[in-house]
Each structure stands twice: as C-alpha cells, then as structure tokens.
Structure 1
C-alpha cells in the first residue's frame, strides 16, 4: 500500500498515547466553516460589534452556526453556511459606476452590491454605510433569491449608519 509520506509520518508512534496525539494532529474534528476575519478601523469595528449583538438567531429559517475563528466581526447560518463578515474592505467593483449601477439591489432600504462567483455563490456588500457588511450565499442557498438579505436589513439599519466608509 502506498501511503503518502505525510500520512506515514503521522501514523508512526510507539504507544497508544502517541498514536492518539498523532491522529488528532493529522485530522480535524471541527466541521465548522472557517472564514477570514476582517480587520477594520476602530470606528467600523465598533459598529460591527454593535451589529453582531443585533444579528438574528435564524436567517431564512436557518439556525445560527458561527464560523471559526470566533469573532464579533463574523457570523454564519446553516450548512453550507450563509456567512456575514462586517468591516470588510470596499469591493473594487463598487468604484465602477457602470458595474455598481447594473449590479446593485436594495432590500428593505439597505443597498447591496451583488457579485456572482464562478462557483455559483453570490456575495452582497452594503453600500452607503459607515462600515461595509458582506454576506456570502453559497450556491445551495441562492434559490431563495434575496430572501436572506431581508433578515439582515433591520439589524444593519439599527447599528451601521448611512454614510461613506
């Protein structure tokens, strides 16, 4: 049997304890989604912490399952997860008036820039707010259209004022 070198190293060990430690190091038992945590300026980070406290327990009927690493700047719902990240950088496409005009939606008085990805997922980023909030819908969650964004409108309006970040 041809075992790859890394796997072979992980299986070497002389005691049950060594085998247990090695196995734990070679595999992950954490099935949570993981995301890159944004690093916004202090003002935006404060707004994002306020938003985090207002986020719903369910989005589009999906239970909250926050991704790792734990952060007040990220949240998730369902599996595969709808992921929210607050304090992200402004998408470069937002600067292009033609792109923004063709790819903008407004849901319950919150403006979003829409970006479709090759894998079938969508990313929506708020515009005209003092912190940019990004919501990614995996392909499996796009069948409900903009439905998930309605659950974010009130918390965003309450905690992230209109303005230019």
Structure 2
C-alpha cells in the first residue's frame, strides 16, 4: 500500500513550481532571520555612578584595550562610557561604577580575593559556568562578566584589564 501525498488546499491552488519551492523558501527565510539577529548588539544596563566616580570611569574607558585576549572591542548598546564589551562568543562585558557586590560582606572575603597587578578581584561564580569579577578596594567598583566558555580561565580577563584599572582608578 502506498499513500499518495496530498498538498494542503492553499498549496494545491498554486502552480507546481511554486508548490515545490514553498517549503525550501520558508526554511531559507527562517534561517536568514535567525542569523541576522545573531549580530545584533547586546544590550547592557549602564550603571549611573556619582560624578567623581563617573570621571574615573571615563578615564578607564579611554584606557581600555581595543583587543582583549584576541577578542576585538565591540561595545554594547546603548553606548556609554561606563560599559565596554569584547566580541567573543559569548561576550565579555565590563561595567564601571557598579554598586558594592552583594556577596562581598566582610573583610576576610576581600583578603582571600586574588590580586593581579595590584588590583584585587572578587570572583562570583555564575550559573553558566562563568564568573563575575569585581575590582574591589578601589574608589569605584569595576565589574567584568566572563560567561562560561568565553575564556579558558576567567581570571585572564582580569589580568588583561588590571593595568588599565590600576592606572585610572585609585
């Protein structure tokens, strides 16, 4: 027993060449839409630091590298001197002037945080296997989010950014 394929009524009314191309055309359009959205800039909430902190953050923004461990800088939308990102997949995002990290509650925790090039970083693990690293013991908190899979070692981002943080934020 062989069953004969019957096209739905709306397709049956179309000429044969159009019917044959309908499904491949629909799939192609879907793929184009999905791929087109992959390149859309990631939106990042920019902090609103106090005026003195904002001056430090603007200085840091000017000192940040255009390339972070082989990933070119591609800032998030909307553009802000308080945010920066590097185009890796997933993206590494820096935010300057963030509030005190919730998980950092006592001085002992600050003491066990890694110090790289005279900048102390408070690491917080993320659910995706990445880390949020916050520069502490500075006039302004600087947060760097390194999603899982962005780098082999999340502290590499902190090492690459520590000189700029040390030079611009006391």
Q: Rg: which structure is higher?
A: 2
TM-score (normalizing by structure 2): 0.73
Return the match for 2:138 from 122, 129, 137. Answer: 129
1:140 aligns with 2:149: yes
Query: Could you tell me whether the CA contact under 8 Å between 1:113 and 1:127 is conserved in 2?
Result: yes
Query: Could you tell me whether the CA contact under 8 Å between 1:123 and 1:135 is conserved in 2?
Result: yes
Deviation at 1:119, TM superposition (A): 1.9
1:89 aligns with 2:99: yes
Return the match for 1:49 from 55, 58, 61. Answer: 58
Return the match for 1:113 from 122, 129, 141. Answer: 122
Deviation at 1:154, TM superposition (A): 1.2
Query: Could you tell me whether the CA contact under 8 Å between 1:93 and 1:100 is conserved in 2?
Result: no
CA distance in 1 between counterparts of 2:86 and 2:65 reads: 10
Residue 4 of structure 2: aligned partner: none
Structure 1 gap segments, 5+ residues each: 1-26
Residue 80 of structure 2: aligned partner: 71
- For the aligned residue pairs, the C-alpha RMSD in angstroms reads 1.8
TM-score (normalizing by structure 1): 0.75
Deviation at 1:54, TM superposition (A): 0.5
SS at match of 1:149: helix
1:152 aligns with 2:152: no
Residue 31 of structure 2: aligned partner: none
Deviation at 1:142, TM superposition (A): 3.9
Return the match for 1:35 from 38, 44, 51. Answer: 44
Query: Could you tell me whether the CA contact under 8 Å between 1:93 and 1:99 is conserved in 2?
Result: no
SS at match of 2:159: helix
SS at match of 2:165: helix
